[in-house]
Each structure stands twice: as structure tokens, then as C-alpha cells.
């Protein structure tokens, strides 16, 4: 596994634990279809939450939030509908969140949860 892949998996593991501690129920991780991938699919009460996880070791290339462009949001919305269709469920409330994980050279990870990016 390459360093970036290992850092990404680490970040997703941290994000999953963070969301569980926030009371969310994890439905799926790394769901893929021909259009792309959803990092984490969760449920927050009656809301389906599509979580994009961005992990960085520094902010030299920008913050995790800066990686979420309008194009990325459109793609995530489309993936949410494909997930609902593939699982044959109807959940009227869908939200897109970002969980950013920054792992500095020293110390523990810093986790930020930005809700409802749409």
C-alpha cells in the first residue's frame, strides 16, 4: 500500500470513529459504482449522510475543505442518488458532509466535521 493510500485509510478509520461517537450509524464504507466512490455512508436520525473524508499530513497543498469544489459536490450528489437506487431505499433527507483529518508530524489527529456542504 502506498503512503497516500495508507494515510487515506487511516483518515477514514478516524472519521468513522468520530461519526460513531457523534451518534451516527455507519451504513457503508468505500461504496463504489461506475461514477465514483463514497467514502462513508451514514445515517444521522432520519437523514442519509454522504461523508467525504479528506486526510492531510499538512496544509501545504491546501486545507481539506479547499478540495471540495462545486464539481465535487455535484458528483457527490449524483453518487448519493445512485446509492439510494442501488439499495432500493427512499430517504428524503440527504446531506453531504466533509470530515477532515489532519495528522501533523507530532501529536494526534485533528478532526473537523463540516455539515451540509450543499
Three-state SS annotation for 34-90: CCCEEEEEEEECCEEEEEEEEEECCCCCCCHHHHCCHHHHHHHHHHHHHHHHHHCCC
Band of residue 74 on the pLDDT scale cut at 50, 70, 90: very high
* pLDDT computed for residue 84 by the predictor: 96
Band of residue 103 on the pLDDT scale cut at 50, 70, 90: confident
* pLDDT computed for residue 64 by the predictor: 79
* DSSP H or E run through 2: none
Question: Domain ranges in the chain?
Answer: 3-114
C-alpha angle 60-101-30 in degrees, rounded to nearest 5: 115
* pLDDT computed for residue 58 by the predictor: 72
Tell me the C-alpha distance between 81 and 89, whole Å: 10
C-alpha angle 87-92-96 in degrees, rounded to nearest 5: 80
pTM confidence score: 0.91
Band of residue 1 on the pLDDT scale cut at 50, 70, 90: low
CATH of 3-114, one of 3.40.50.150, 3.20.20.10, 3.40.1350.10, 3.10.180.10: 3.40.1350.10
* pLDDT computed for residue 20 by the predictor: 98
- pLDDT, tens only, 13-71: 999 999 999 999 999 999 999 999 999 999 999 999 999 999 987 777 777 788 889 99
Q: What share of the chain is helix, strand, coil (3-state, %, to 5)?
A: 35, 35, 30
Amino acid at each position: 500500500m502506498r503512503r497516500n493510500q495508507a494515510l487515506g485509510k487511516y483518515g477514514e478509520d478516524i472519521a468513522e470513529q468520530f461519526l460513531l461517537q457523534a451518534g451516527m450509524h455507519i451504513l457503508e464504507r468505500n461504496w463504489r459504482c461506475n461514477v465514483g466512490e463514497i467514502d462513508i455512508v451514514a445515517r444521522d436520525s432520519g437523514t442519509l449522510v454522504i461523508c467525504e473524508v479528506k486526510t492531510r499530513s499538512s496544509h501545504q497543498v491546501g486545507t481539506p475543505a479547499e478540495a471540495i469544489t462545486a464539481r465535487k459536490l455535484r458528483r457527490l450528489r449524483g453518487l448519493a442518488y445512485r446509492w439510494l437506487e442501488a439499495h432500493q431505499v427512499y430517504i428524503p433527507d440527504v446531506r453531504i458532509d466533509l470530515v477532515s483529518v489532519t495528522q501533523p508530524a507530532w501529536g494526534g489527529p485533528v478532526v473537523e466535521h463540516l455539515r451540509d456542504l450543499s
